[in-house]
């Protein structure tokens, strides 16, 4: 078996080693997980601009109703947005999972976020964000921003919870990847694993191969325990909720830079309002994210989870009661050390006059600047180190942590 084929069979690359030798930053105990919502979710029905009459005029079929007036009782049969402040509300699908985190101050939202890329192409914009390079330069597909972060953070232990190594993790630092949703039993039994390991004994790949088997065995043990628990009425192993628990446990055990993507957010037709396809997806995502504090235990205090998407969707609903490709979106930031319970970042009035190209939310909080400000604070990056991650960026510290 060729060495390259072996690593593909394992579904991972060797564990990072030596990353950050030249520009080691402090705060290695901090953990960061990026959750990428592929397909551009409709942020306007997640973080609802409840003060905007224009929102309700633009979405006669899919808008989320305003919260009850002060002193009025909520009607359980007719859910509404959950009031966050005088201008914003939260989709009721998150009432039982993430709303408690917001109340505890462990969840914040950043509206008008995103990239200056206006192609409205899923793939082009996803690639651009994951690379994190200036838009006016030729793209280097061998260098993603999380990999560059791994190079400058002291003791970085990156991990991608995906089938393929994502662009954000491509680069000089070696990063393992594994999609936990598809990992049940190993394709290799113990005897086969031992034979392969023996093949690489006394070679430079001996340690990475052993490390790869160890990670896979660890995940398999967790899945086995989970299936046993399910027999006693435990939660299903399917869906992002269960995957998030596994990610949380693995992050707590030894990884401090993680990436996972969640698909299915392209809602052109019948996306629904309080109920429907989007509401179901938001609820499932919220259920999964709400598992992280318990799964990570004490490590949650030093963890930041950032939920991003390639762009937002058109502000007005389309003729199919859905929404089309837009521009500005909303980022979610949660974690034990997050200064949440707020809607942060630069904002404008949500009305027709302030739309981008008369169709989308504007981007006022450019993602490289926002993430750069977050990384600088969380990992203690100096300007030269931050420039390695996001070349040419002027970081914006929104006080997220």
pLDDT given for residue 28 in this prediction:
56
- Is the pLDDT at 190 greater than 80, yes or no? no
Contact assessment for residue 128 and residue 309, using Cβ atoms and an 8 Å cutoff: no
Cα distance between residue 305 and residue 31, in whole Å: 8
pLDDT given for residue 12 in this prediction:
39
Q: How confident is the model at residue 219 (pLDDT cuts 50, 70, 90)?
A: low
Strands 342-343 and 89-90: unpaired
- Is the pLDDT at 314 greater than 90, yes or no? yes
Instruction: Tell me the mean pLDDT in the region 34-47.
Output: 96
pLDDT given for residue 197 in this prediction:
72
Which residue has better confidence, 187 or 40?
40
pLDDT given for residue 23 in this prediction:
47
pLDDT given for residue 217 in this prediction:
67
Going by C-beta distance under 8 Å and a sequence separation of 6 or more, which residues neighbour residue 381? Answer: 25, 152, 153, 375, 389
Q: Alpha helix (H) ranges present in 50-116?
A: 53-58, 99-104
pLDDT given for residue 163 in this prediction:
86
pLDDT given for residue 209 in this prediction:
72
Least confident of 100-104, 195-199, 319-323, 328-332: 195-199
Q: Please provide the average confidence, as pLDDT, over all residues in the chain.
A: 86
Task: Give the rounded percent of residues in the chain with a pLDDT score beyond 70.
Answer: 82
The closest of 230, 341, 329, 335 to 290, measured between CA atoms, is 335
Instruction: Tell me the mean pLDDT in the region 210-224.
Output: 65
- Is the pLDDT at 308 greater than 90, yes or no? yes
Give SS3 for 58: helix
The closest of 14, 32, 1, 29 to 214, measured between CA atoms, is 14
Cα distance between residue 127 and residue 121, in whole Å: 10
Question: Domain 31-182+234-389: which topology?
Answer: Alkaline Phosphatase, subunit A (3.40.720)
Residue-wise pLDDT for 42-86, tens only, equals: 999 999 999 999 999 999 999 999 999 888 888 889 999 999 999
- Is the pLDDT at 236 greater than 60, yes or no? no
Going by C-beta distance under 8 Å and a sequence separation of 6 or more, which residues neighbour residue 266? Answer: 39, 40, 122
The closest of 10, 31, 36 to 309, measured between CA atoms, is 36
For the chain, the distance separating the N- and C-terminal CA atoms, rounded to the nearest angstrom, is 47
Which residue has better confidence, 125 or 230?
125
- Is the pLDDT at 157 greater than 60, yes or no? yes
Task: Give the rounded percent of residues in the chain with a pLDDT score beyond 90.
Answer: 71
pLDDT given for residue 394 in this prediction:
96
Instruction: Enter the pTM of the model.
Output: 0.83
Any idea of the CA torsion for 278, 280, 281, 286, to the nearest 10 degrees? 120
Burial class (CB in 10 A: 0-12, 13-18, 19+), 155: middle
Least confident of 167-181, 233-247, 273-287, 329-343: 233-247
- Is the pLDDT at 186 greater than 90, yes or no? no
Residue 114 CA, chain-centre distance (Å), reads 13
- Is the pLDDT at 336 greater than 80, yes or no? yes
How many helices, marked H, and strands, marked E, lie in the chain? 11, 11
Residue-wise pLDDT for 115-125, tens only, equals: 999 999 999 99
Cα distance between residue 246 and residue 251, in whole Å: 8
Contact assessment for residue 312 and residue 328, using Cβ atoms and an 8 Å cutoff: yes
Which residue has better confidence, 192 or 342?
342
pLDDT given for residue 74 in this prediction:
84
Contact assessment for residue 93 and residue 348, using Cβ atoms and an 8 Å cutoff: no
Cα distance between residue 11 and residue 299, in whole Å: 27
Which residue has better confidence, 332 or 225?
332
Cα distance between residue 298 and residue 342, in whole Å: 23
């Amino acid at each position: 078996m060729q060495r390259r084929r072996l690593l593909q069979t394992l579904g991972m690359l060797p564990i990072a080693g030596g990353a950050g030798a030249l520009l080691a930053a402090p705060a290695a105990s901090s953990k960061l997980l990026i959750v990428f919502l592929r397909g551009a979710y409709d942020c306007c029905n997640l973080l609802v601009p409840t003060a905007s009459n224009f929102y309700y005029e633009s979405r006669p079929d899919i808008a989320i109703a305003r919260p009850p007036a002060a002193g009025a009782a909520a009607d359980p049969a007719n859910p509404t947005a959950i009031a966050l402040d005088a201008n914003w509300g939260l989709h009721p699908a998150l009432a039982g999972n993430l709303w408690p985190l917001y109340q505890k101050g462990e969840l914040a939202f950043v509206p008008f976020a995103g990239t200056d890329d206006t192609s409205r192409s899923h793939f082009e914009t996803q690639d651009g964000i994951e690379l994190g390079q200036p838009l006016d330069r030729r793209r280097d597909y061998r260098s993603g921003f999380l990999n560059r972060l791994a190079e400058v953070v002291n003791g970085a232990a990156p991990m991608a919870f995906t089938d393929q190594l994502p662009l954000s993790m491509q680069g000089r630092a070696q990063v393992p990847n594994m999609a936990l949703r598809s990992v049940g039993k190993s394709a290799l039994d113990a005897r086969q694993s031992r034979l392969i390991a023996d093949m690489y004994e006394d070679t430079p790949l001996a340690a990475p191969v052993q490390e790869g088997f160890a990670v896979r065995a660890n995940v398999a043990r967790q899945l086995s325990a989970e299936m046993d628990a399910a027999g006693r009425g435990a939660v299903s192993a399917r869906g992002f909720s269960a995957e998030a628990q596994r990610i949380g446990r693995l992050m707590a055990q030894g990884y401090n830079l993680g990436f996972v993507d969640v698909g299915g957010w392209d809602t052109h037709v019948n996306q629904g309002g309080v109920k429907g396809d989007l509401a179901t997806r938001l609820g499932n995502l919220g259920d999964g994210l709400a598992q992280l504090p318990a799964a990570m235990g004490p490590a949650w205090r030093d963890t930041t989870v950032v939920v991003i998407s390639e762009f937002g969707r058109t502000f007005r609903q389309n003729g199919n009661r859905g929404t089309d490709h837009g521009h500005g979106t909303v980022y979610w930031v949660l974690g034990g050390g997050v200064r949440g319970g707020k809607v942060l970042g630069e904002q404008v009035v949500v009305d027709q006059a302030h739309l981008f190209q008369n169709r989308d939310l504007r981007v006022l909080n450019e993602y490289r600047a926002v993430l750069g400000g977050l990384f600088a604070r969380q990992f203690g990056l100096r300007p030269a180190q931050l420039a390695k991650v996001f070349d040419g960026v002027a970081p914006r510290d929104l006080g997220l942590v």
